A and B are shown apart, each in its own frame.
Chain A
Amino acid sequence: MSKSRISNNIRKLRFFHDEMTQQQLAEKVGVTRQTIIAMEQEKYSPSLELAFRIAHIFGVPLEEVFSYDFEDETNQYSNKEQIK
């Protein structure tokens, strides 16, 4: 399975917030621990609402938690243009 273009710093942010456990974060944002694990492994991209809730828990803006890899997308589009 290809990894999502959305990457995140959840693991790092948990570590810097008193080594918060996955279970604690899951309880605070109202999801299961398995969902936090899937997000950290970048297998699951959360909804916008959940992303905002996670950023709020860490007290940082959304861009500090999640980032989108535009490079791949740009390469893909430029390759398509070249083919045309």
Chain B
Amino acid sequence: MSFQQKNVTVSLVTFLLILGFYLVRVFQIIQDGNFNSTNVFRLWGFVIAFAIVGTIVVTIFTHIFSAITQAIKTGEEDPDIEDIEDERDRLIDLRGTKVTYFVSSIGGFLSMLTFVLGQPPLVMFTLLIFFGVLAQIVGDISRLYLYRRGF
């Protein structure tokens, strides 16, 4: 598995955890009868902050972990990690981004549709972040699929 592939896998796991946490919290809020703007927007903020900080931290850890495993494998003190991004990686990333945008556009549309159909705006905002995270997950899955297939 290449460094880029590891990065995508780690990103996928991170966003799956974020989605899991988000869904659990949303259901808890609904069950407790606290589905109000304060709680929903606090959750929004938490998810966005965790997505940004978590991705950065996890990428750094992947790099460190790759260096350690490479050092153990080769026995070198200063191992070379193949962390270059070549043209194939860039094309796979672009295709993944295209899938992400497609899913988030559909998600955005569906979220707004709930508002048009008479649901409160909080439902729309809750769905917006859900589809945003889901789009990232689908994009990562498509990237991994392209890596496994070759291109």
Contact = CB atoms under 8 A, between A and B. Distances in A.
Contacts of A34: 2, 5, 88, 147
Q: Which of A32, A35, A41, A47 has the most CB of B within 10 A?
A: A32
A31 B86 contact: yes
Given A32-B2, A34-B2, A43 B86 contact: no
Interface in B1-43: 2, 4-5
A1 to B, nearest CB: 6
Given A32-B2, A50-B87, A38 B151 contact: yes
B88 A37 contact: no
A32 B89 contact: yes
A32 B84 contact: yes
B150 A43 contact: yes
B150 A32 contact: no
Contacts of B89: 32, 35
Interface in A1-57: 1, 30-35, 37-38, 41, 43-44, 46-47, 50
Contacts of A31: 84, 86-88
B9 to A, nearest CB: 14
A31 B151 CA distance: 14
Q: Which of A34, A44, A50 has the most CB of B within 10 A?
A: A34
B149 interface: yes
Given A35-B88, A50-B87, A43 B2 contact: no
B84 A47 contact: no
Contact of A44 (B5, B82, B150): B150
Nearest to A50: B87
Interface of B: 2, 4-5, 82, 84, 86-89, 147, 149-151
Given A33-B82, A38-B88, A43-B149, 9 more contacts: A30-B84, A31-B87, A32-B4, A32-B82, A35-B86, A38-B150, A44-B151, A46-B87, A47-B87
30 contacts: A1-B149, A1-B150, A30-B84, A30-B86, A31-B84, A31-B86, A31-B87, A31-B88, A32-B4, A32-B82, A32-B84, A32-B86, A32-B88, A32-B89, A33-B2, A34-B2, A34-B5, A34-B88, A35-B87, A35-B88, A35-B89, A37-B150, A38-B88, A38-B151, A43-B150, A43-B151, A44-B88, A44-B151, A47-B87, A50-B87
